[in-house]
């Protein structure tokens, strides 16, 4: 058996909370520690701490609700506007070839935070899955989250 050491994951293992990570982050000050890129009236945009690709954003409703249909129309509208704006910011910084945009509603659908609805905005590049992903089931991230946060936060204000 081969091993891939990822000591930075220990911070995640040791800091898991019993509550909701999205509710908890709303109580924190914005910055590289919480990875919040933007706060709207009803939603916020945050980097995924365990991204599929560099720049993987989440658009999260402020309210702790299970599903999109549990939200007010204004909140759903803001979520879509922020997802769209996020795509524009990601285009300007990383020049992706495409995007995956969607929500995993419920644990059976693959939601990592099943009780708090959010939309994923995942930039994609042609050929962004390679032998590491296919054979080793390991994703190689070319940029530290703190650097991604700094680049996207700066771009968000200018877009």
The secondary structure element, H or E, covering residue 45 is strand 43-47
Query: What is the H or E stretch that residue 86 is in?
Result: helix 73-94
* DSSP 8-class letter at 98: E
124 forms beta bridges with 98
Q: Which of 56, 116, 118, 120 is catalytic?
A: 118
Instruction: At 147, list the tokens.
Output: 């650097």
Residues whose CB is less than 8 angstroms from the CB of residue 96 and which lie 6 or more positions away in sequence, other chains included: 55, 90, 123, 124, 125
Interatomic CA distance for residues 120 and 85, integer angstroms: 13
d(CA 13, CA 158): 35
User: Is residue 118 annotated as part of the catalytic site, yes or no?
Assistant: yes
Q: Is residue 139 within 8 Å of 132, Cβ to Cβ?
A: yes
Active site residues: 118
């Amino acid at each position: 058996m081969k091993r891939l050491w990822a000591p930075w994951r220990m911070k995640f293992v040791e800091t898991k909370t019993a509550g909701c990570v999205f509710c908890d982050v709303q109580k924190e000050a914005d910055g590289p520690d919480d990875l919040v890129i933007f706060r709207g009236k009803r939603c916020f945009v945050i980097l995924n701490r365990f991204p599929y690709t560099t720049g993987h954003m989440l658009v999260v409703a402020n309210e702790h609700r299970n599903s999109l249909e549990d939200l007010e129309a204004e909140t759903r509208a803001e979520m879509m506007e922020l997802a769209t704006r996020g795509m524009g910011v990601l285009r300007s910084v990383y020049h992706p070839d495409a995007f995956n945009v969607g929500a995993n509603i419920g644990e059976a659908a693959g939601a990592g935070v099943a009780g708090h609805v959010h939309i994923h905005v995942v930039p994609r590049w042609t050929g962004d899955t390679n032998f590491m992903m296919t054979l080793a089931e390991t994703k190689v991230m070319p940029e530290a989250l703190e650097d991604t946060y700094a680049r996207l936060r700066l771009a968000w204000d200018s877009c």
